[in-house]
Amino acid sequence: MEPKTDTVYNFSAGPAALPKAVMEKAQAEFVNWNGMGVSVMEISHRSKPFIKVAQEAEQDLRDLLNIPDNYKVLFCQGGARAQFAAVPLNLMGNAKKATYIDGGYWAESAVNEAQKYCETDVFDAKVQKDGKIAILPASEWKIDPEAAYVHFCPNETIDGIEINDLPVTDKPIVADMSSTILSREIDVSKYGVIYAGAQKNIGPAGICIAIVRDDLLELASDLVPGILNYKLLAEQDSMFNTPPTYAWYLSGLVFKWLKEQGGVKAIEKINREKAALLYDYVDSSDFYRNGIHPNNRSLMNVPFQLAKPELDGTFLELAEARGLTSLKGHRVVGGMRASIYNAMTLEGVQALVSFMKEFEAQYA
């Protein structure tokens, strides 16, 4: 095995690696931002310089995702977990039910929270296909005709499952895109609400984006806490209270970086290349295994198991020594997981595959 290098490739599932160029810029201006002699985190969220940061971040995100004008972009607190409550509290109106498509751990977590506020009609879309976990095609999903909305999670971070279909429905579609957003092109106009915790493809933990179609702003329950109230947040430009300004600023830097990379279309191409490299190698090997059907493999989170699970510790230790970090799988799935969000370079995935080959050669 080759010795440790200075380059670290961080495969953390979240909080995840941020683009190197973003981190270096943020470091350089950390204590003297915008020539003001203070940090961007030390100024009022209502000051002109910060409002410019906030507005540019919103506009850049709108540009990156082609967000139509009839959608509000909200910068929220509390992560996607807060949205699990915010969605029913904001969208139920006079309805009593909502349909939740169950594709894995996070979809189920959303159900558990929603049950406090509405009746949840849950459709389990997971099936076994060719000995692997797959997702039924959307045409087979059963959606309650009285549902206020249909919720799904297109990328299951823990399981490494991806749902490429959209629910076939005239109800508002609500998507937890925490691990999907900005990784590929999407048509926002097909959704009612898209939300995403920042700590994968947007910025640091502590900020969460919600993109809400404006006709859905009038349905909130009287019981929705102000900080989760979409309409209030929209009216106040997400400054109903002091927002997490530093996380907002860093997210804005990531959006600018992504534009410089050529936008979502360009990064999607690299993301597909990265994922193919890893999955192809895993599939070609008898030593590594991924339990998800090729139709539903995540582009962002690649779990894999060793044929000899007793070597997990050795694998992780040697990988770490090579600068390949945070590869331990979630306890629910076991084995390894490589999260390869936008900030992970092709070189990083190449380095991982090289290491996996060497490890296989030595220990298989």
Identify the residue among 68, 137, 145, 225 touching a second copy (CB under 8 A): 225
Q: Is 33 a catalytic residue?
A: no
d(C-alpha 51, C-alpha 55), whole Å: 6
Identify the residue among 34, 56, 63, 77 touching a second copy (CB under 8 A): 77
362 annotated to a ligand binding site: no
d(C-alpha 54, C-alpha 249), whole Å: 7
Longest dimension (CA), the chain: 63
Q: Is 200 a catalytic residue?
A: yes
The stretch among 137-145, 188-196, 275-283, 323-331 that binds a second copy (CB under 8 A) is 323-331
Task: Tell me whether strands 71-76 and 208-213 are parallel, antiparallel or unpaired.
Answer: antiparallel
User: Is 13 an interacting residue with respect to a second copy (CB under 8 A)?
Assistant: yes
CA neighbor of 335 nearest in space, from 309, 301, 299:
309
Smallest gap from residue 134 Cβ to a second copy (A): 28
Torsion of CA 338, 342, 346, 349, to 10 degrees: 0
364 annotated to a ligand binding site: no
Give the tokens for residue 297.
Answer: 């493999």
d(C-alpha 84, C-alpha 256), whole Å: 29
Nearer to a second copy, 10 or 271 (CB): 10
User: Is 3 an interacting residue with respect to a second copy (CB under 8 A)?
Assistant: no
User: Is 23 an interacting residue with respect to a second copy (CB under 8 A)?
Assistant: yes
Phi, psi for 53 (deg, rounded to 5): -55, -45
Nearer to a second copy, 67 or 87 (CB): 87
Nearer to a second copy, 134 or 319 (CB): 319
d(C-alpha 292, C-alpha 125), whole Å: 14
Q: Measured in whole angstroms, how far is the alpha carbon of residue 67 from the centre of its chain?
A: 17
Smallest gap from residue 295 Cβ to a second copy (A): 29
CA neighbor of 343 nearest in space, from 280, 272, 215, 257:
257
Question: What positions carry a catalytic annotation?
Answer: 106, 176, 200
For the annotated binding site for pyridoxal 5'-phosphate, the residues are: 80-81, 106, 157, 176, 199, 241-242
Footprint of a second copy (CB under 8 A): 6-8, 10, 12-18, 20, 23-24, 26-27, 30-31, 36-39, 41-45, 47, 77-82, 84-86, 89, 113, 116-117, 197, 199, 204-207, 222-223, 225-228, 240-247, 323, 325-326
